[in-house]
Each structure stands twice: as structure tokens, then as C-alpha cells.
Amino acid sequence: MVLGEWRAQPGRTLAAILAIAVGVGLGLAIHLVNRSALDEFAGAIRSVSGAADLQVQAASSAGFDEDLYPILARLDGVATASPVVELRARTDGGEPLTVLGLDPLRAAAVTPNLLGGGAVGGGGEGGVTTAEAVFDLDAITLSPAALQQSGLRVGDQVRLSAAGQSASFRIVGILEGVSGDRALGVIDIAAAQWRFDQLGRLHRLDLRLSPGVDRSAVERTVQANLPAEAALVTPQSEMRRTESLSRAYRVNLQMLALVALLTGGFLVYSAQSLSVTRRRPQFALLRVLGLPARGMLGQVLIEGVVLGLAGAALGVVLGVALAELALRLLGGDLGGGYFSGGRPPLVFTPVAAAIIFGLGVAIAVLGSLFPALQAERIPAAVALKTGSGESAETAGQPLPWLSLGLLAAGGLAALGPPVGGVPLFGYGAIALILAGGVGTMPWLARGLLGPLRRLRSPAPPIALAIARLWGAPRQAAVALCGIVASTSLMVAMAVMVTSFRGSVEDWLVQILPADIYMRLDPGLTLDPEAQARLAAAPEAAAIEFRQSFNLRLSPDRPPVQVSARGQAGAGAGEGLPLVGRQVTAEGLPAWISEPMARLYDLSPGDRLTLPIGPGAQAQVTVAGVWRDYSNQFGALILDQAAYTALTGDAGRAEAAMTLAPGVEPATAIEAFRARLPPSIAGGADFAEPREIRAVALRIFDRSFAVTYALEAIAILVGLAGVATTFSAQTLARRKEFGMLRHVGVRRGQIMQMLATEGALLGAVGALAGLTLGVIMSQVLIHVVNPQSFNWTMETRLPWPLLASLAAALVATSAGAAVLAGRGAVADSAVRAVREDW
Amino acid sequence: MIPRRAFAGLLGAGLIAPATPGLAQDRTGAPVFAPVRPGRSLTFPADHGAHPDFRTEWWYVTGWLQAQGQPIGFQITFFRIRTGADTRNPSAFAPTQVIFAHAAISDPAVGRLIHTQRIARAGFGLAEAKVGDMDIVLDDWRLRRVPDGTLKAYAGDQAFGLDLSLAPTQPPLLQGERGFSRKGPRADQASYYYSLPHLKVSGALTREGRRIAVTGEAWMDQEWSSTLLDARAVGWDWAGINLDGGGALTAFQVRDQQGQAVWAGGSLRGPDGRTTIFAPGDVRFVTRRQWRSPRTGARYPIARDIQARTPAGPRVWRLEPLFDDQELDSRPVGPVYWEGAVRTEGGRGYLELTGYDAPLAL
């Protein structure tokens, strides 16, 4: 019987299955991609930090004092401490790589994978002969990726630049223990300190603990011995940091996928409702034949389970395929820009797949539950007698209090705080508003169609259409719920993305006021003399030199970006897109970005200690908060003169140039480059704001590519749902058309009636979807985004998109109704009428 | 002696640019190693301390312990190696000196050596060999001389630990010409070398967390040099025996490819303190029995006769190992060799046999 029903309605069944499959597939794909990326990223971390039990990391690239090394090495419970100098370097070919300066004898006990075959502990054959390279200060061992990237081979010389110095090394081996595409080079720690001007400084201490010690006790002792410029990092906290990098982005995508699944649920509901309605006589007959009411419920539920199983199974296949494709096309962060480089291999997680599969089935069953209950309640006698597929609509629809209650609850939930950095209440609000909104549809449909009834003498087909929709709003609502759900979600996303993009564009204009921006390669800096030479260029009206570096303020959080900027005579806060109030700071002022203010709970007037400068205890006062979209983990701006006074670092690696009137940017760049010291000129990048803006927006669009794709899929599923639902409803009304033909309505008029009905329903759906979507977008803009990413934005409505969406909906609805109607009306009027008697 | 010196020799060869002038030229900043010359008199306690200008140096403690009535052999060894690293490097990590240490016990009940080793570049007080008196630190391992002249030694890991006091009972025994000990036919193939025989041992041996009080008798050699072996040398044999009644026998030979002695030497100090220094022709190692290592396949002449010409006429000491398998595999840092507790009628000590697994590449 189930099969019979589905054979009769293949389109609708397929749409329901597909909807579930798309939801399950998207959810699984996003999960798998992230899992794979995180695994890869964690692997990369492990390969750089080796097998260390604990790690102490410098708060900034300035490192910490090497005297910490013997202090930690002597602590009880620390078996071995391996000191590390970590530098961002560039080969003479320009390829970036991380250079680690290690003491191989210590690393052998803590991080043996960071040693090549030539080192002690590498276990080469012949034993002692392998020790040759151990203390070779001119030797470097490269990871396979670094070798491949630079096209060098073992035995070649390679010249490296880092921290403004350069030195040549002979490649003596391959770091087989460093997997993946991590470009890494290992040199001796003494060479690293000497050649790259890091005397007395370390960036990392990798610790191996004695077997059997109380790990947390050791962590506490280590912690107690750390200066402010160093922080304890455990593999767990590192992992947490990695996850927190992309967590909000990931959760957002995941929620979107679940929303797609929810849309699938609505489609199942609408398909099953129609199917139940259509089968009323059949069910009634079964009841009369003695099948208990429970049996009806059971049958519809089983149909739901089968739909769900088929959809979810298809979804898992789809999900794995999508994940594979996404990893190949977008990389591990789905274009989010969180993990640099690398296409991680797909990691399949059966548990997650099972959970999402189960969710898919559950939603399908849930979608079938209401129609099933309805089937159970079919009074046999009445249904048999009317012999009609139409449900008996209760005349006056009461105000949908339940739905209004859901909407109100959604509004309240939107006020909730984030849970563990994830705006769960925000998503809850969206779900509640969606459910409530869909629930009000019958009432809304009547309300919207009401005025049409008062139209004076409309053409008969239109009058018929209005009368029908007015008379059977629940059925109209069933047809609408899928489309309203998908439309509103799409509108919400579109409004959010448009608002975000608009705000970013405005921000880019504000934050990039100069004519040309210059940035030097990592490790290169301009000393004051070079700065003065550059500033003296006649092409420049003014040059603001800047220095920026990463500073870790909390071991579990990614570092914040600290920039020293500001021109002489003007505060560093000048020209920043400030939000909120400002204070005149006592002492050193600092301007912090919006994400930093939210992450570290700071507001203007608050004091903050930065681990920089002598004693690593620079006290600054928050003078203002500025809008920043470029650094999700926080950024802080210091006055450049104050920065130099604090740290003694007068070098600058960035500059913002305002050109003298009439100077062409291209000419100016030539002139500036010529004024740079020859050793630096090759490592300087000049860009015009125009280019920077274009690049920034390209990155923005890329990171939202997945979001756009999700939206498109949601809307396609929604439209498919509309099409199949309308076809079904139209086909079910054969006898009605036959009747109309008998009373003299022409075939063309019936088609007109159907088109009107479809268009009206589409219009109602579009209107409801747009309204609901805009409401939900406000939750996304004012709750979800600030809570996930710590930034705010201003609402902008994408009118062309909204208008074309509405038009597409109306057209699809009308078109689907007409297409289905052609088949239904083609039958001879007599046959259509006879069929039912 | 050079023997135990196996490590130093190999580390010297492997880790460090040789100290020959020819190689020193291609790198300015290469260290200049102090030469070993006759006529320098050793002064104590200063010469118990390190001599960082020389290329290699070792403090080599071997001996017999009584643990719960059972004899157990032990060795604790610290090496200091001056590397060929650029001396201009101002980094505190500049690997100019490396400290290596080794500890092993020979328990007949186990039937093979239990050993462990450490190595670190000197610096930060974590690995240092002090100048002025004996105090060598390598993480938690240490060998130092306390003001009353006693040596305190600690070495070990999870499997075993040696925590010993070694009290001298005799004045230092200066080897060779008042501490100048020739090691080869060339005059510059020599080392400064003295021994502390008949050290009275007390302390504890920890095994798998169980601490056992021990007593015993030990022998310490300290030796430093910048020049290593003759080109023909493939290995060496060494023995140091505490003779009952207070005498001390030292014997060594440097072997060539054919197993012939390139150089030999040693000494015999009587209970009265009178010392005979052996010339190369005065001492011979004669093999009675070989043992083949099942792990490396190397054949070691573990049962030897030491024949020596003494003022009292020719003497023979028949050395018998405590047990056969006292092979020590110190790869990848050091070589594979045999270092074991041996006894002879009227004496106990240690025998070292190197270059039997593979010629020591120098």
C-alpha cells in the first residue's frame, strides 16, 4: 500500500527524500570537512611541537629570556626541557618557511620528529657516524614540503632571511618526521641565535615530563615560574585554540545545514499531509474494513521512516562526496581562511555520520507525525460519504495562539547570551521564529487574501481562485510552509551577508585612507635612517610608519595583533573607524578593536598590561574601540612613539603613504622603491587601497561561497517542493475541474484560475518568507554575528535579490500549477466526473 | 686511558672537526686545542677539575659492589668534549663543550649489562664540567669532589640508580711520566692521566624503585688529551685492577688491524706506594678465551692473561670476567664495546675491549 502510494506520487516522494538528503548531506559534509581540517591542523601542530608534553611559548615574536630554560629544566617533574628559537624566514627564492633552532641533544628526548636522519637519536646505521651533523652550525635539515617548495635538494646551499638578517646553510638532510605541507627547517639553536640576531632569546621550551608525575601539579609549578612574556601551552590548549579559530564559523555552517534539514522536514510534512488528505477515502475504507485507527497512524509513520531512511542514506553518500569536493576546491576551512594552505585528506567519522543520519530520519518522522495523527482521526463514515479528497475545513480559523507564542519565545531567546562562544540562543530564536512564522500561515493567508475578496467583479477565473484559497487556507498553508521556510532562511542569510559586505566595504574605505601602502617581508625592517630617507621623497606628502606583531595575551586564545602607528603630532587613534565612546587616557593610550573589546571584556578607560618592553609589563589604557573585520581575535593599536619608547624597537615594517598632489601612484612606488636600502627593496610590497580592497572583498566572497551555495540549495529544494506540492494538489482536483467543465467553464479559464491560484499562493509565500527572513536576519546581525565573531554591522537590504526572489517564487508557483493543470484538465470532462461516482 | 675513552674518541671524531691544522683552516674561528707535553706536573685539586682547552677529557669510575651479599660491577663515566664549533659564536648555546655520561651495572643474576647514558651541550649550569676541582653536572647526574676529598656520584634512570660516595684511601697514582702518558709511537700521541685506585665505596643502588645499601671498592681514572690515536689503531684494551693488600695494576694496549699492539703501557703500584711504569715492551695481553656476542656477532677476548715485566720479575694475572655478556652498546652516540667487571687471583677490577665490533673510525 505504501509502495502503491509512492508509485502514484513519485515526484512528491522524491522531493521529500531529496530534501532530507540535502539536509543530511550538507550537515555531514560540513562536519567532515572541518574534522579533516582540524585533524590536519592538529597534525601540523604536533609535527612542529613534536611530542612535547607541555610547551612554553613566547607571548610575541620577541621571545623570552633564555634564563627561563635552566629554571624550567630543573623543576621537579620535568624530565627534559628542549629550548627552541622559532623564526619566520624566507629562502632566497622567496618561499616562506618556519625555521626552528634546536639543541638536537635535547630535542632528541622531547621532539625526536624534529630531527633529521643526521641527528643523535635518528638511529641511522653505523651509529656514531650519524652524529656528524649534530653540531654543524652551517647545516639545515628541511621538511619534505620545504624542499619541494624551494626546489632544492640535499647538498645544496640555501640562503635564509629572518629577523632582518640573512645566512647561508647547507642542506644536510630531510625531516622525515614532519608530515604534510609544513615548510620547516631545523638548524642548531646556537646558529639561530647568532645568525638571526636572537642572542639571549628563546621562543619556545618543549617539555617532557618524568614518567608518572602529576601532570597538573607540574603545570602549576611551570606556570608559577613563567614571566609575563611567556605562556604555558598544553597540547589540549593548543587544540582548543585551533578549534576556537574556526569554531564560530563551523558552528554557523553546521546550523545552516541543520536549517536545510529542517526545511526538508517541512517538505516531508507538506508531502505527507497532501498524501493523507488524498487518501482519506482509502483510509476510511480501511477503517470500515476493520483496521484500527492506530493502524493508520502506524502506516503514515512507517512511510515517514522509510522516506527518512532513504533520504538520510542518500544524504550520507551525498555528504561524503560533497566533503571530498569541498576539500578539493575550497580547502579545509571551506574558504573561511582559518587554516593556511594544505588540502587535508578526508577523515570519515562514523559516529557523526550516524548522528546526522539519525537526525535526518527523526525529522522525516516528525514531519510525518502531524499528518499521521490527522489520518488516525479520520472519521470513517464521513470520509466515505463525502468520497472527497478535500478535508473539511473548519470555517473561521482562530488566531494561531501557539504560533504567536513561538514567535514571542523566539524574540525572547534572541536576547540570550552566547553559550561557550556559540550563539545557541540566537539559533534557537531563529528556529522558534521559523516554526512560529510557518504556523501563522493559514491565518496570514486568509488575512492577506481578504482584501482580494472585496474586488469588484473580477474575471471569473480569478474570482474562483480567490474563493478557493479563501475557503481552504489550511491546504494553502500546507503548500506554503516548505516555501516559506526555505525562502525566509535564504532571505535572512542574504540580508546578513549583504549587510556584512556593505559594512566591510565602508570599513575598508575608512581604514585605508592613504594612497599607497607598503609592507616588508617577514624579518625585514626599516631603521630610522631608512625611514627618514623614504619620508624625504618629494612624491610623498606624508608617510606614516607602522610596526605590527602578534602578542599572546591568553594561552588558550589566538594572539592579538598589536600595531604601532600614528604620525608625529597626531594620535594613533586618528582616522580609525571608532565605535562607541572615547576617553582621554591617563598614561599610554591604546585603541582596541571591537573583537578584542568583546573577547577580553574591555571598554574605554580600562587598563591593560601588555607583555612587551623591559619587564614585559607595559601598562596601557583603552582610549577607544574601533571596528575591525580583519582580525577576529583582536587587534590593538599603540602610538608609535610610545611603542618605540617602550620597547626600544625603532624599526618599522609597514608604511602608509599619502602622495603629494598630482603624483601618480605608479611613479611614486618606483620612487619609493628606489629609496629603500638595496637589501630591502626586493622584499617590499606596495599596494594601492583599491587593490587591497579588491583583494579583501575577494577573500570575503570566497569565505562566503559556501554560504551562498547553501542558500542556493535551500531555495532550489524549496522551489522543487512548491512545484511538486502544487502538481499534487492540482492532480487531486481532477473531479473539481470536471465539474467546472460541466458547468461551462472553459479549459482556458481553468488554466487561468490555476495560474492565479499559484501566483497568489506564491505571492503570499514570498511576502511571508521575506517578512520572516528580514526578522531572522536581524537575529543573525545583532545576535549571532556579534556572539560568534565579535563584530557588528549595519543592516542593508539586497532589494534586487529580494525582488527577483519574490518574482521567481510567484512564477514557479504559477508555472507548476499550470503545468500540472494541463494534465489534469486534458481528461474529458465526463470521465473526470464519472471517476468519482 | 684511552680505552674507556672509546666514547671520547668517537665523539671527537664524529661530532667535532678534527683538531688538525689542515681542517682548522677552512673555518676561521676554529678552536685551537691545547697540546699534551711532557714535563707538566699535575697539581691537585685543580687537576681533578676540567681542562676545557683540551679536546677530550673523562672521569671514569669502575668498581665492584656488594649488594645483599652478591657482587655487582658498576661504572659511572663522564666525558667532556670540546667541539670544533666556531668560537666566535657569542650564543650561550654555542656548542663548544659537550658533556656525555654513561652508567652501567653488571649483575650476574641478570647476565648482561643494564646501562643508560646522557648527553648535552654544556651551558646554563645544566651540563658543566667545572674548572678547579672535580664537579661535573649533567642534568641530575653528577660527579663531584667534596672538601674532605670524597667523590660523590649520582647517575641512573628509571631502571637503576647509583648514589655513591667514593672515599680515596691512597694518593693519586700518576700514570706514565708523572702523569704524561704516551698512547702511540708519535710523541704527540699522549694524554695527561692519573688514577685513584682503592676508592672505598658506600651508598645505595636503586633498582626498579627499590633502594639497596651497597659497599665496595672502585677505581677512578681521569685523563685529558687533544690528540688521539695512531692512524694504524683500530681499538684498544685496558684493565685496571685493585689488588688485594693495596696494590694497583694498570695495563693498556692500542691494537692495529692484525691485533698487534701499536703501543702498550701501564703501571704497577705496590701496597707501599712504589710504582713501576711499564714501557711498551713490558706488558702483553694474551687471550685465553673469546666470547661471541649474539647481538652484534663481535668476538671479544674476555678471558685474558696480562703478562708484565716487573722489578720482581715477570708476572701474570689471569683475568676472568664476572660473566660473559658485558657488551655495551652505546649507539648512536658511542660505539659497541665490552666493558666488564673482571677478577683475578688476588684482585678485582674492570676490563675494557674496544674495536672488536667494528674498527673505530678516526
* Cα A304 to Cα A314: distance, rounded to the nearest angstrom: 15
User: Taking Cα atoms as reference points, which of A259, A242, A264 lies closest to residue A312?
Assistant: A264
Nearest 5°: the CA angle B126, B131, B136 is 40
Strand partners, A549: A562
State the average pLDDT over residues A428-456: 80
State the average pLDDT over residues A615-631: 81
Q: Tell me, what's the pLDDT at A828?
A: 58
Mean pLDDT of chain B: 87
Give the chain A residue nearest B361 (alpha carbons): A129
Give the gyration radius of chain A's Cα atoms: 33
B10 touches chain A (CB under 8 A): yes
Considering the entire predicted model, what is its pTM?
0.61
Q: Cβ separation of B90 and A199 shorter than 8 Å?
A: yes
A261 or A121, greater pLDDT? A261
Residue B5 has pLDDT above 60, yes or no: no
In this structure, are residues A73 and A80 in contact, taking their beta carbons and an 8 Å threshold?
yes
Distance from CA of B186 to the nearest CA of A (A): 26
Give the chain A residue nearest B330 (alpha carbons): A127
Give the chain B residue nearest A102 (alpha carbons): B93
Residue B3 has pLDDT above 50, yes or no: no
Cβ-based contacts of A188 with chain B (< 8 Å): 93, 95
A824 or A357, greater pLDDT? A357
Which among B15, B16, B88, B93 is the top mutation candidate for probing chain A, defined by the most A β-carbons within 10 Å of its own β-carbon? B93
Q: Cβ separation of A190 and B120 shorter than 8 Å?
A: no
Mean pLDDT of chain A: 77
Q: How confident is the model at residue B362 (pLDDT cuts 50, 70, 90)?
A: very low
Q: How confident is the model at residue B25 (pLDDT cuts 50, 70, 90)?
A: very low
Cβ-based contacts of A134 with chain B (< 8 Å): 15
Q: Cβ separation of A211 and B158 shorter than 8 Å?
A: yes
**Nearest neighbour of B94 by CB, restricted to A73, A126, A190:** A190
Q: Tell me, what's the pLDDT at B347?
A: 94
In this structure, are residues A257 and A30 in contact, taking their beta carbons and an 8 Å threshold?
yes
Q: How far is CA A462 from the centre of its chain?
A: 46
Phi, psi of B48 (to 5 degrees): -70, -25
Q: How many interface pairs between A and B have CB atoms less than 8 angstroms apart?
A: 93
Residue A59 CA: distances (Å) to CA of A42, A147, A555, A637 = 20, 30, 9, 17
A829 or B265, greater pLDDT? B265
* Cα B202 to Cα B218: distance, rounded to the nearest angstrom: 10
* Cα A267 to Cα A20: distance, rounded to the nearest angstrom: 9
Residue B195 CA: distances (Å) to CA of A756, B44, B108 = 113, 12, 27
State the average pLDDT over residues A431-437: 85
Least confident of A143-147, A614-618, B211-215, B302-306: A614-618
Q: Cβ separation of B120 and A106 shorter than 8 Å?
A: yes
3-state DSSP assignment of residue A170: strand
In this structure, are residues B127 and A81 in contact, taking their beta carbons and an 8 Å threshold?
no
**How many Cβ atoms are within 10 Å of A830's Cβ, its own excluded?**
11
Cβ-based contacts of B119 with chain A (< 8 Å): 105, 120
Distance from CA of A73 to the nearest CA of B (A): 8
In this structure, are residues B271 and B244 in contact, taking their beta carbons and an 8 Å threshold?
no
C-alpha cell at B30: 676554529
Cβ-based contacts of B327 with chain A (< 8 Å): none
B39 touches chain A (CB under 8 A): no
Residue A677 CA: distances (Å) to CA of A159, A161, A656, A672, A674 = 19, 15, 18, 10, 8
**Do you find a cis peptide bond into B45, omega within 30 degrees of 0?**
yes
Q: Cβ separation of A128 and B332 shorter than 8 Å?
A: yes
Residue B143 has pLDDT above 90, yes or no: yes
State the average pLDDT over residues A326-334: 63
C-alpha cell at A443: 491565518
Ramachandran class of B311: left when φ > 0, alpha when ψ lies in -120 to 50, beta otherwise: alpha
A137 touches chain B (CB under 8 A): yes
Q: Cβ separation of A69 and B124 shorter than 8 Å?
A: yes
State the average pLDDT over residues B25-49: 82
In this structure, are residues B269 and B175 in contact, taking their beta carbons and an 8 Å threshold?
no
> Which secondary structure element, helix H or strand E, spans residue A366, and what is its range?
helix A350-376
Q: Tell me, what's the pLDDT at B167?
A: 97
Least confident of A56-60, A563-567, A569-573, B234-238: A569-573
Residue A480 has pLDDT above 60, yes or no: yes
3-state DSSP assignment of residue B300: strand
Cβ-based contacts of A120 with chain B (< 8 Å): 119, 332-333
Q: Tell me, what's the pLDDT at A443?
A: 80
Cβ-based contacts of A193 with chain B (< 8 Å): 91-93
Phi, psi of A157 (to 5 degrees): -90, 145
Distance from CA of B91 to the nearest CA of A (A): 6
Cβ-based contacts of B87 with chain A (< 8 Å): none
Q: Cβ separation of A199 and B95 shorter than 8 Å?
A: no
**Nearest neighbour of B335 by CB, restricted to A67, A127, A190:** A127
- Per residue, the 3-state secondary structure of B247-298, as one string, reads CEEEEEEEECCCCCEEEEEEEEECCCCCEEEECHHHEEEEEEEEEECCCCCC
A679 or A644, greater pLDDT? A644
ipTM for the predicted complex: 0.86
Q: Cβ separation of B98 and A135 shorter than 8 Å?
A: yes
**Nearest neighbour of B334 by CB, restricted to A83, A128, A193:** A128
Q: Tell me, what's the pLDDT at B353?
A: 94
C-alpha cell at A724: 511538486
Q: How confident is the model at residue A452 (pLDDT cuts 50, 70, 90)?
A: confident
**Nearest neighbour of B119 by CB, restricted to A105, A127, A128:** A105
Which among A124-133, A819-828, B151-160 has the top mean pLDDT? B151-160
Q: Tell me, what's the pLDDT at A515?
A: 85
Cβ-based contacts of A74 with chain B (< 8 Å): 126
A99 or A833, greater pLDDT? A99
Cβ-based contacts of B90 with chain A (< 8 Å): 194, 199
Q: Tell me, what's the pLDDT at A19?
A: 75
In this structure, are residues B361 and B18 in contact, taking their beta carbons and an 8 Å threshold?
no
**Do you find a cis peptide bond into A798, omega within 30 degrees of 0?**
no
C-alpha cell at B151: 667523590
Distance from CA of B211 to the nearest CA of A (A): 18
Q: How confident is the model at residue B165 (pLDDT cuts 50, 70, 90)?
A: very high
Q: What is the residue-wise DSSP string for A519-558?
A: EEPTT--B-HHHHHHHHT-TTEEEEEEEEEEEE-SSTTSP
State the average pLDDT over residues A801-820: 85
**Nearest neighbour of A103 by CB, restricted to B13, B121, B358:** B121
Give the chain A residue nearest B14 (alpha carbons): A132
Q: Tell me, what's the pLDDT at A654?
A: 86
Q: Tell me, what's the pLDDT at A664?
A: 87
Give the chain A residue nearest B100 (alpha carbons): A105
Cβ-based contacts of B14 with chain A (< 8 Å): 128-129, 131-132
* Cα A298 to Cα A292: distance, rounded to the nearest angstrom: 10
Residue B16 has pLDDT above 60, yes or no: no
Residue B164 has pLDDT above 90, yes or no: yes
**Percent of chain B predicted with pLDDT > 90:** 67
User: Taking Cα atoms as reference points, which of A407, A354, A336, A439 lies closest to residue A27?
Assistant: A354
* A158-172 tens-digit pLDDT: 998 887 788 999 998
State the average pLDDT over residues B136-158: 94
| Sign of the torsion formed by the C-alpha atoms of A347, A348, A351 and A356 | positive
Residue A764 has pLDDT above 60, yes or no: yes
**Do you find a cis peptide bond into A677, omega within 30 degrees of 0?**
no
**How many Cβ atoms are within 10 Å of A52's Cβ, its own excluded?**
26
Residue B20 has pLDDT above 50, yes or no: no
B 91-130 near A (Cβ less than 8 A): 91-95, 98, 119-121, 124-126
Q: How confident is the model at residue A360 (pLDDT cuts 50, 70, 90)?
A: confident
Which among B26, B83, B88, B91 is the top mutation candidate for probing chain A, defined by the most A β-carbons within 10 Å of its own β-carbon? B91
Cβ-based contacts of B334 with chain A (< 8 Å): 127-128
* Cα A614 to Cα A62: distance, rounded to the nearest angstrom: 11
Cell 532589494, residue? A799
Cβ-based contacts of A67 with chain B (< 8 Å): 124
C-alpha cell at A563: 600595531
* Cα A235 to Cα A43: distance, rounded to the nearest angstrom: 11
Give the chain A residue nearest B93 (alpha carbons): A190
Q: Cβ separation of A124 and B334 shorter than 8 Å?
A: no
Q: Tell me, what's the pLDDT at A193?
A: 94
Q: Tell me, what's the pLDDT at B200?
A: 97
B159 touches chain A (CB under 8 A): no
Cβ-based contacts of A80 with chain B (< 8 Å): 139
